[in-house]
């Protein structure tokens, strides 16, 4: 029998941040993780952390969140995210030692550049300092331990969990039961369900196994379902985000998103190969972009020139080597390479270039960056784009204390949640780089409140 003050389920950013805060608050803490290693989807992320940029404010950030979310965001939760983002970023730097690149990025739907990218553009650069801090605080992680049942007393207060210890993702029946008693609180931080085809098609029947995902296979819904069994309220589960920067020419996340999101969308164009014309404002939010691609009905081509690549400062070698990104000496060669009518593409690029020169996009109202340049310096680069399941906006309802709410909106004693498992922060569409912010902001709140939760007698 194991007994702790605070049990954290899941070892992604949200879980580890919660564990660190709970331990710092003096609680005895244990993290359980069903896989053999820590990290979840967090460790494979790009490490992009939205906080406030220059000429930015919590109000502007909040307005962007709610506009993208189509007003479905829980206002209180979105407000907490916007108001605490900068403090969470500072904590990640100062307390954990995470290092970020100097430059700020702008992603579709944000009014200003406010994405801080962890060194190496990798979630691993955030994960390593988190794990180091956990070790310093002597918080153990118990791997191959899958949450199966949340236990409560007769009044409904959480008292512990039953775990399948020795869990093997390839053989879900492996392992045996282990009871963990919890004196103060359980923090659920089990991530999203993007890879759970059965559960996601219940909520969006279009997202069958045919549709690829950027998520790792462990991104499944069993912990969410267990919390629902206990009476937790699920919210907005059908809002599932498709990543518009993904390519059908590779499995999973791969090389296309970095090129498309950091270079093509802010500085280049997306073209329908059957018409040679642009399809939308490339700096729109992910929902607008993915819907535009789905409306076209076949993969479109993201195009940038050599200057855009230099301005963005990314190295494309890996994507080019794998053949996901392609390089052409002329626009005509690019048109030929992707089966686009060369005359139409030339006209499209000329139109785009004169819009850039005028500082105003007549066609799609794309907000040009201050240093936007016409597409005219060879070589030209292209990528085929088609959406993949990326993020689940829906999940468990929580309040401002990160306490899980029941279907009447009442906090469930001893049960907290943070990260992608939670619903309501982003409404209909999460803006790029706001999930890591959410993991940090709400992970901190959940960890502190679980540690301060009334001790179970």
* Contacting positions for ligand FAD (CB under 6 A): 9-15, 32-35, 40-42, 44-48, 146-147, 189-192, 214-215, 218-219, 222-223, 253, 391, 419-421, 433-436, 439
Provide DSSP, 154-211.
TTS-EEEEEEEET-BTTBTT-SEEEEEEEEEEEEE-----TT-HHHHHHH-TT--TTS
Element (H, E) at 352: helix 342-358
Active site residue 286: yes
Would you state the structure tokens that stand for residue 140, as one six-digit string? 């153990």
In this complex, which beta carbon is closest to ligand FAD, that of residue 234 or of residue 379?
A: 234
Q: Are 411 and 182 in contact (CB under 8 A)?
A: no
Question: Burial level of 94, CB count in 10 A (0-12/13-18/19+)?
Answer: exposed
Give residues with Cβ within 8 angstroms of 276, minimum separation 6: 335, 340, 341, 342, 343, 344, 345, 347, 348
**Separation in Å, CA 236 to CA 53, 135, 298, 422, 428:** 29, 36, 28, 10, 8
Element (H, E) at 345: helix 342-358
Q: Which of 146, 183, 278, 286 is catalytic?
A: 286
Q: Are 450 and 6 in contact (CB under 8 A)?
A: yes
Would you state the structure tokens that stand for residue 160, as one six-digit string? 């512990």
| CA proximity to 385, closest of 108, 161, 116, 142 | 108
What is the four-CA torsion angle of 199, 202, 206, 207, rounded to 10 degrees?
Answer: 0
What are the catalytic residues? 286
């Amino acid at each position: 029998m194991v007994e702790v003050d605070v049990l954290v389920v899941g070892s992604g950013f949200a879980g580890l941040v919660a564990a660190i805060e709970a331990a710092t608050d003096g609680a005895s803490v244990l993290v359980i993780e069903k896989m053999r290693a820590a990290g979840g989807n967090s460790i494979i992320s790009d490490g992009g952390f939205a906080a406030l940029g220059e000429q930015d404010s919590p109000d502007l950030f909040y307005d962007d969140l709610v506009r993208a979310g189509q007003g479905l965001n829980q206002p209180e939760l979105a407000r907490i995210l916007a108001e605490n983002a900068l403090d969470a970023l500072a904590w990640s730097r100062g307390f954990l030692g995470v290092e970020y690149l100097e430059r700020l990025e702008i992603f579709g739907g944000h009014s200003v550049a406010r994405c801080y990218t962890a060194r190496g553009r990798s979630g691993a650069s955030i994960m390593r300092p988190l794990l180091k801090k956990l070790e310093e605080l002597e918080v153990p992680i118990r791997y191959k331990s899958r949450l199966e049942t949340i236990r409560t007393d007769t009044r409904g207060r959480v008292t512990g969990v039953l775990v399948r210890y020795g869990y093997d993702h390839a053989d879900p029946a492996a392992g045996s039961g282990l009871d963990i008693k919890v004196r103060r609180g359980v923090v659920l931080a089990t991530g999203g369900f993007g890879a759970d085809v059965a559960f996601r098609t219940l909520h969006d029947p279009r997202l069958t196994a045919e549709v690829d995902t950027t998520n790792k296979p462990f991104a499944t819904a069993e912990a969410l379902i267990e919390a629902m069994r206990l009476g937790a309220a699920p919210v907005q589960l059908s809002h599932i985000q498709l990543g518009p920067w993904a390519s059908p020419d590779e499995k999973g996340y791969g090389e296309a998103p970095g090129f498309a999101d950091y270079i093509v969308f802010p500085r280049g164009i997306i073209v329908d190969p059957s018409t040679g014309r642009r399809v939308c404002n490339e700096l729109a939010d992910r929902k607008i972009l993915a819907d535009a691609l789905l409306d076209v009905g076949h993969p479109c081509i993201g195009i940038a020139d050599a200057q855009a690549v230099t301005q963005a400062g990314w190295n494309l070698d890996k994507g080019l080597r794998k053949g996901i990104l392609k390089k052409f000496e002329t626009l005509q060669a690019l048109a030929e390479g992707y089966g686009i009518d060369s005359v139409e593409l030339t006209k499209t690029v000329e139109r785009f270039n004169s819009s850039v020169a005028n500082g105003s996009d007549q066609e799609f109202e794309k907000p040009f960056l201050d240093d936007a340049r016409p597409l005219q310096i060879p070589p030209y680069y292209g990528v085929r784009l088609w959406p993949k399941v990326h993020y689940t906006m829906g999940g468990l309802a929580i309040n401002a204390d990160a306490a899980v709410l029941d279907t009447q909106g009442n906090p469930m004693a001893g049960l907290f949640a943070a990260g992608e498992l939670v619903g309501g922060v982003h409404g209909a569409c999460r803006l790029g780089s706001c999930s890591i912010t959410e993991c940090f902001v709400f992970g901190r709140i959940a960890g502190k409140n679980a540690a301060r939760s009334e001790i179970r007698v």
